[in-house]
Amino acid sequence: MLKLEGVGFNYHTPEGEIQAIQEVSLDIKDGEFLSIIGPSGCGKSTLLSLIGGMLRPSAGRVTIDDQEITEPDPRIAWMPQRDQLFPWRTILGNVLIGIEVKRQPTLEDRRKAVALLEKYGLGDFIDRYPNQLSGGMRQRAALIRTLAVEPQILLLDEPFSALDYQTRLTVADEVRMIIQREQKTSILVTHDIGEGISMSDRVVVLSKRPAVIKNCHDVVLSTDSVSPMARRDAPEFGHYFNRIWKELDVQ
C-alpha cells in the first residue's frame, strides 16, 4: 500500500517560502486507479513528484509498505506529459531504455519487451522509428516503455495533454485497459474532470494553493466496462462531474 501521512511541501524562492501543499494524507490501495484534480497551480504535479521521490516532503512522509520514500524508487515509474521517445531509436530500442538505465538488457529483457509490444498492438512496429507512428501509437509505446521496467506503481502526469481531443479519448481508453490488464496501481494528474472520472476508481479534489484534500469521490458507475469511453455513458457520470465541477468552481 502507498500512504501519504500529513505531507506538506514548501518551495524556497528569493522572496521567501511558498507553501505548496499542506497536510495531505491519503491511502492508495494496491491495484487502485486514482485521479488527482485541482485548480491550475495548486500543486498536483508537485504531489506526484513527492510520491515518486523526486522531491522530499517539508513535513510528513510518503511510504510504500511502511518503507519511507526518500529518493526515486524502482517500484515507481513515471509516464510524463509527452511521450519523450528518442527519434534516433527504434520503438523496441525506446522501450528498452528504462532497463538500460539500470543495467545491460538481457535476451530475456528483450523478449519481454517484444512480447509487450505484440500484446498491445505494436508488434509490427518494433523496428520503426517514432516519426513513423501516430500520436496515439507513440503514447502507447511510452506506456509500454514504462511497463517494461515492471513497476508496482505508475504515475501519469497529464499523459494525454499533447493529443487532440478525439485521439485523447481513444488513447485514454487504450491506456486504461492496458493498466487494468497489467493490474498496476496508478495515479493520474489531470485538468480534465471527465477524464478523471472515466478512468478512475477514486477522484481526489485538491483546493487552491496551499493544496489540501477538499474531497475524495469513490467512483461507482452502473457499467461493468473498464473502457473510459463506455464509462462516460453511465447515468451516474454527470452526477460526479457536476459535484467535482462545483468543488473546483468555488475556489
Confidence (pLDDT) at 251: 44
* Other residues' Cβ atoms within 10 Å of the Cβ of residue 127: 10
Helix/strand/coil for 186: strand
pLDDT at 101: 82
Residue 127 and residue 39: Cα distance in Å, rounded? 41
pLDDT tens-place values along the chain, 251 residues long: 899 999 999 988 887 888 999 999 999 999 999 999 998 888 899 999 999 999 999 999 999 999 999 998 989 998 877 888 999 999 999 999 988 887 888 899 999 999 999 999 899 999 999 999 988 899 889 999 999 888 999 999 988 887 788 888 888 888 888 898 889 999 999 989 999 999 999 999 999 989 999 999 999 999 878 889 899 999 999 999 999 999 986 44
The CB-side HSE value for 240 (13 A sphere, CA atoms) comes to: 29
* Domain map (residue ranges) of the chain: 1-75+152-167+179-225+241-251, 82-150
Which positions ≥6 away from 84 have C-beta within 8 Å? 142
pLDDT at 237: 95
The 10s digit of each residue's pLDDT in 10-46 is: 988 887 888 999 999 999 999 999 999 998 888 899 9
Q: At the top level of CATH, which class does the domain 1-75+152-167+179-225+241-251 belong to?
A: alpha beta
Say if CB 78 and CB 52 are below 8 A apart: yes
pLDDT reported for residue 50 = 95
Provide the angle, in degrees to the nearest 10, between the axes of the packed helices 135-148 and 107-119.
140
pLDDT of residue 159: 83
How many other CB atoms are there within 10 angstroms of residue 236's CB atom?
A: 14
The CA distance from 161 to 196, in Å, is 13
Cell of 151: 513497476
